[in-house]
Amino acid sequence: MSKLASRHLLGLEGVSADDISLILDTTHTFREVLDRPIKKLPTLRGLTVLNLFYEPSTRTRISFELAEKRLSADTVSFTTATSSVKKGESLRDTVQNIEAMKIDMIVVRHSSAGTPYYLTQCSDANVINAGDGSHEHPTQALLDMYTIRKKYGKLAGLRVVLVGDVKHSRVIRSNIWGLKALGASVALCGPSTLLPAEVERYGCDIYTSLDEALDGADVVNIMRLQLERQQAGLFPSQREYTNLFGITRERLKRLNKNYTIMHPGPMNRGVEISSEVADGDSSVILDQVTNGQAVRMAVLYLLSGPEAEGPQA
């Protein structure tokens, strides 16, 4: 029996506040483990985790791999560049072949939205979404939420602004569901061409003026601008984007005191965020990376079933 309502983590939409809180509380325990001299636990000993990365990823893939190894899981990693996918094998066949080698959990990154759900139909393993197209990236949102909660001791009542390419960002989508479930006030800000259809139905405040969005905010989470969006004609130039939506020290004056700057990485310095802000005292960008590992350890642990030993072991 899973400790969470679902035996998979496919996204944060529909996940209850209780389950999210449980993940964040468990993260806290694992976060402390990461500060120990020996950062290894026997928690997932005997379990095998498949890291299925159909899309390039550095930090998420390494973060999951390290989290798995630190919990003593056996891991196997898969990237499309060196796999039979290049020979035209379907995702179902690929996964079922690997599963035949007896795996317990799958961490999947894929450019197609919905792939993690599809995998639950192909496999008996527990599935964790490590990013699917523009749909969701739940562990990134959880680590963002954990980082905020660690600093403020709460999420409820905080005003969080998510800035950037709202249309294509899976990080933003997961953040919206998670933050709202725990009572934060969420604002979205970006060029109107990068705001998706009927975005107001999320129940967030929507801004196309960065200065207005930042007014009275506690946290600014800045998303990476994908430069191919300019080629697709969604904004006129990188220069104009930076002028309108780039976070600079000057703009931070509008935020509340004790504000926080976040970025899921990788950053385009000088485009969506100035180096001064990225490296400033209020930036928690590297903390996010460390916390990400603890969140992933917590999720792996909570989804791994009753046989796994707890973090205290």
Partner 1 sequence: MSNAPFDMIISGGRVIDPALGFGKDAHVLIKDGRIAGIENDIQKLGDSTGATVIDASGMLVVPGLIDVHVHLREPGREDEETVESGCRAAAAGGFTAVCCMPNTTPRIDNQETVLFVQDRAKNADARVYVVGAITKGSEGKELSEIGDLVKVGAVAITDDGRWVENSEIMRRAMEYSKMFNIPVMDHAEESTLCAGGIMNESFESTRLGLRGRPAVAEEIAVMRDIALCRTTGARLHIQHLSTRRAVDVVRAAKAEGIRVTTEACPHHFVLTDEAIAKEFNTCLRVNPPLRTANDREAIIEGLIDGTIDCIASDHAPHAEEEKDCEFDLAPAGMIGLETTLGLVKTYLIDKGYLTWADAIAKMTINPARVFGLPGGTLKTGSPADITIIDPDAPWTVDKKRFRSMSHNSPFIGWKLQGQVFRTILGGRVVFAREE
By CB under 8 A, name the one of 62, 66, 85, 113 that touches partner 1.
Answer: 113
Neighbours of 34 (CB within 10 A): 15
| Among 17, 62, 66, 91, contact with partner 1 (rule: CB under 8 A) | 91
170 binds partner 1 (CB under 8 A): yes
Is residue 244 involved in binding partner 1 (CB under 8 A)? no
**Is 66 a binder of partner 1 (CB under 8 A)?**
no
CA separation for the pair 212, 145 (Å, rounded): 23
Under rule CB under 8 A, how many of the chain's residues touch partner 1?
Answer: 29
The CB-of-77 to partner 1 minimum distance in angstroms stands at 20
Stretch that binds partner 1, among 33-41, 59-67, 85-93, 251-259 (CB under 8 A): 85-93
Q: Residue 147 or 174: which CB sits closer to partner 1?
A: 174
- Least separation in angstroms between residue 167's CB and partner 1 is 8
Rounded to whole angstroms, the Cα distance separating 64 from 42 reads 16
Kindly tell me which residue out of 10, 143, 163, 285 binds partner 1, with binding defined by CB under 8 A: 10
Minimum Å gap between C-beta 170 and partner 1 is 6
Please identify, using beta-carbon distances, which residue of 129 and 147 lies nearer to partner 1: 129
Cα–Cα dist 234/231, whole Å: 8
The answer to whether the beta carbons of residues 224 and 272 sit under 8 Å apart is yes
Asked if 276 and 248 count as a contact pair (C-beta separation under 8 A), the reply is yes
| Closer by beta carbon to partner 1, 62 or else 91 | 91
Q: Which is nearer to partner 1, 117 or 152 (CB)?
A: 117
Q: Which of 13, 205, 287, 309 binds partner 1 (CB under 8 A)?
A: 13
- Residue 11 within binding range of partner 1, rule CB under 8 A: yes
- List the interface residues with partner 1, window 182-241 (CB under 8 A): 196-199, 201-202
Under the binding rule (CB under 8 A), the answer on residue 263 touching partner 1 is: no
Given the rule CB under 8 A, which of 73-81, 113-121, 218-226, 289-297 is the region that contacts partner 1?
113-121
Per the CB < 8 A criterion, the answer to whether 253 and 210 are in contact is no
At its nearest, how many Å lie between partner 1 and the CB of residue 200? 9
| Alpha-carbon gap, residue 116 to 106, rounded angstroms | 9
Q: Which of 114, 265, 280, 305 binds partner 1 (CB under 8 A)?
A: 114
- C-alpha 94/C-alpha 115 separation (Å) is 13
Binding site for partner 1 (CB under 8 A): 10-11, 13-14, 90-92, 110, 112-115, 117-118, 132-136, 167-168, 170, 173, 196-199, 201-202
